[in-house]
């Protein structure tokens, strides 16, 4: 996660953690920041190498994550397995 001042909080460091951390990190961010007000989400247009997902909190903290096509596919498969 990146704050408006550019500093970062917890980051996923291994390839395995990166594949699993998008949903967990987003869930944690929403849980921690929902009390501050309306969260604003966005994403860049998908490119050949992925897209940038952002969620901004009124308190100034911004969740920011680059999602590769492989990570997006893996997340969709995990979600489908839950249904």
Task: Return averaged pLDDT per consecutive 10 residues of the chain, 83 residues in all.
Answer: 51 50 83 96 93 96 92 81 80
What is residue 57's predicted lDDT score, i.e. its pLDDT? 97
Other CB atoms within 10 Å distance of the CB of residue 30: 14
How far, CA to CA in Å, does 59 sit from each of 5, 40, 70?
Answer: 12, 12, 32
Residue 58 confidence (pLDDT): 97
Q: How far is CA 11 from the centre of its chain?
A: 11
Q: What is the DSSP letter of 45?
A: P
Query: Which distant-in-sequence residues (6+ apart) come within 8 Å of 27 by Cβ?
Result: none
Report the pLDDT value the prediction gives residue 20, as an integer from 0 to 100: 60
Looking at residue 13, what is its pLDDT?
45
**Domain ranges (residues) in the chain:** 2-82
Task: Give the per-residue pLDDT at 31.
Answer: 95
């Amino acid at each position: 996660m990146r704050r408006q001042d550019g500093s970062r909080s917890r980051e996923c460091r291994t390839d395995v953690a990166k594949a699993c951390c998008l949903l967990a990190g987003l869930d944690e961010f929403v849980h921690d920041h929902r009390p501050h007000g309306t969260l604003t989400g966005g994403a860049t247009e998908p490119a050949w190498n992925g897209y940038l997902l952002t969620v901004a909190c009124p308190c100034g903290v911004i969740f920011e994550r680059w999602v590769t096509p492989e990570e997006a596919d893996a997340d969709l498969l995990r979600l489908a397995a839950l249904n």
